[in-house]
Chain A
Amino acid sequence: MLADLTDLTMVEAARRLCAGSLRARDYLEAHLAVIARHDTDLNAFLNVMADSARHQADLVDARYRNGDRIGPLHGIPVAIKDIIDIEGQPTTCHSSVSPIAKAVHDASVIGRLRAAGALIIGKTALHEFATGGPAFDLPWPPARNPWNRDHHPGGSSSGSAVAVAARMAPAALGTDTAGSVRHPATACGIVGFKPTAATINTKGVFPLSWSLDHLGTLTRSVEDSAILFRCLCDPGIAFDFETNSRDNTLRGKRIGILGEFSEGAMPEISTAFATALDLLRDLSAELVPLTVPPLSAYTGCGRLILQAEAYALHKPWLEARAEDYSQRGRTRLLAGRTIDAATYINAQRLRRTLTEKMQAALSTVDAAVCVSSLMLPCRIDDPAEIDRTYDQQARTPFNLAGLPAVALPIGFAGNGLPIGMQVVGAAGTDAKVLSVARVYEIAAAWPTRPPLLDHSLPEGNPYASPT
């Protein structure tokens, strides 16, 4: 019974909570039970806030009994990347540097979640300060991929993605500076959405790169992402998901293909992407090849800007207490120390042009698609392979350009690990991007439940495609 509750999507649970057929406390306890059972193996959470979440759930249930439905997230547990302030809690950023011992205020997004009726279930693991990759020389272990614990779960919002994929929470918040929501979503077989830049207030979120940082959502369905985004976005942001989602086909939709962004992908990923394009075609979309500058221009420009801005932020700590960083985090943050002002400014100038080119191409279509990761997640204990494969991705262009991008599953590799693609669009077309992704998601109907959660199943992955 409890396990079944955790398989509900956020929207399905919200309907039951709203109808009074499910109590917030019961729904929460189901998730806390999964955390108790699986998180010693998966390390999704740094801090499970069970007591305060139970208190919130009881308040929500009491208000419901009095005829008061708080909001669209009434009784929904949400996990929070531990780079986002929650009043009275430390914000560790998964680092011994632990910049905030006790947050004085909730981040803006936490206030919005509470106002919508959400329960804050805990704070999740990340890559140190949202950069670098999994590290084993920190006080907390890195999160593990629920589809195969020996492999990394992507990052940097790794714990948030693991928590949602493993049914520890129906939804989570992450941050996305160079793909940090969409990468773990892809690696863990769920949905990661990074909206148009500056649509969600980042006050109370520890920065990595001030000009690239975005907040984003991790859920198990596109519709869940849409509902969550609506609760989080700033007042006045246009977002009409319902009107854009009336049709379950893509008839009359022009979908661009960013084919060059998929070059160099592993064969299994290329094959899955080609199959996804076939399905989009079957759904009556008109597929249109798009030409934009090379992926290497976007990723190189994004990396340089990120490294320069992150170093500017961390320089005092790197000089005073370098030993408090992980080896991986320290070197990634130090990488910006040799970037001079002229180089940084020229990168920002190039960025403007790259953004104009991307925006112009995407303005000719309803949405566009490309792969998410070019490589499957490698073993978590293989640092050389992590270095080689981690940045092989097509996500950074949409941080650089500030455009909406959602990553969603498109199948499984022979080793059972999930594969994903992105649906992206011009600035401000968040609803249209999500509606296209939703149509694909419903038609494809990929499973999102990692077999690890089912102890009754035999060894191996029933969702793996034949090799």
Chain B
Amino acid sequence: MEKWSLLARLSPEDRVFLKRNADAQAVFVARWLADLPATLRPASHTDAR
């Protein structure tokens, strides 16, 4: 990722925001996408099996 030149030009404030956002994204993915709760699975999700 660091090979991308833009990242070298980010300010400390940029990096703080992006780190916080990435952490929030990870929490969301773990809670809602990694193992979709059964009550939220679309009908087709189980029908297709």
**Which residues of A approach B to under 8 Å, CB–CB?**
293, 296-297, 300-301, 303-304, 307, 318-319, 322-323, 327, 330-332, 334-335, 338-339, 343, 346-347, 349-350, 352-354, 356-357, 387
Selected contact of A322 from candidates B6, B31, B32, CB within 8 Å: B6
Q: Is the CB of A353 within 8 A of B18?
A: no
Closest CB of chain B to A425's CB: distance in Å?
22
- Main DSSP-derived SS at the A contact region: helix
User: Could you list 25 examples of A-B contacts with CB < 8 Å?
Assistant: A296-B31, A297-B32, A297-B40, A300-B31, A303-B25, A307-B25, A322-B6, A322-B9, A323-B9, A327-B13, A327-B14, A330-B14, A331-B13, A331-B18, A331-B21, A334-B10, A335-B18, A338-B1, A338-B22, A346-B33, A349-B45, A353-B40, A354-B40, A356-B42, A357-B40
Q: Say yes or no: A353-B33 contact (C-beta < 8 A), given A304-B25, A318-B6, A331-B17.
A: no
| Residues of the A chain whose Cβ atoms lie less than 8 Å from the Cβ of B33 | 343, 346-347, 350
| Residues of the B chain whose Cβ atoms lie less than 8 Å from the Cβ of A322 | 6, 9
**Which residues of B approach A to under 8 Å, CB–CB?**
1, 4-6, 9-11, 13-14, 17-18, 21-22, 24-25, 28-29, 31-33, 36, 40-42, 45
| Residues of the A chain whose Cβ atoms lie less than 8 Å from the Cβ of B25 | 303-304, 307, 335, 338-339
| Residues of the A chain whose Cβ atoms lie less than 8 Å from the Cβ of B21 | 307, 331, 335
A131 and B37 CA atoms in complex are apart in Å by 30
In chain B, what residue has the closest Cβ to A383? Answer: B13
Q: A301-B28, A347-B33, A387-B17 are in contact. List 6 more A-B contacts (CB 8 A).
A: A300-B31, A301-B32, A335-B25, A338-B22, A353-B36, A353-B40
